[in-house]
């Protein structure tokens, strides 16, 4: 089973932020795809059996804040 989660992210100001978050989220267990968009301050994460809390924590560890939307 595959699921898609949409996140609202705050704190991104440049492309390096996007890359840091993309890498952090892709390292979370179960995640198969992470698309982070700077202009809309959002991300679309796909995967199987995703632990949303782990994704939010991974983003926070990079210094940003995220919520599910």
Choose the stretch contacting ligand 9UX; rule: CB under 6 A; options: 12-20, 33-41, 43-51, 52-60.
Answer: 12-20
Query: Closer to ligand 9UX at the Cβ: 12 or 50?
Result: 12
SS (H, E, C) 30-54: CEEEEEEECCCCEEEEEECCCCHHH
Q: Which residues neighbour 60 within 8 Å (Cβ) at sequence distance 6 or greater?
A: 66
Least distance in Å: CB of 4 to ligand 9UX? 25
> Interface residues with ligand 9UX (CB under 6 A)?
13-14, 16-17
């Amino acid at each position: 089973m595959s699921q898609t989660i949409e996140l609202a992210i705050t704190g991104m100001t440049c492309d390096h932020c996007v890359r840091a978050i993309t890498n952090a989220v892709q390292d979370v267990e179960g995640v198969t795809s992470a698309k982070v968009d700077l202009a809309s301050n959002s991300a679309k994460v796909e995967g199987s059996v995703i632990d949303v809390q782990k994704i939010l924590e991974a983003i926070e560890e990079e210094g940003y804040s995220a919520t599910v939307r």
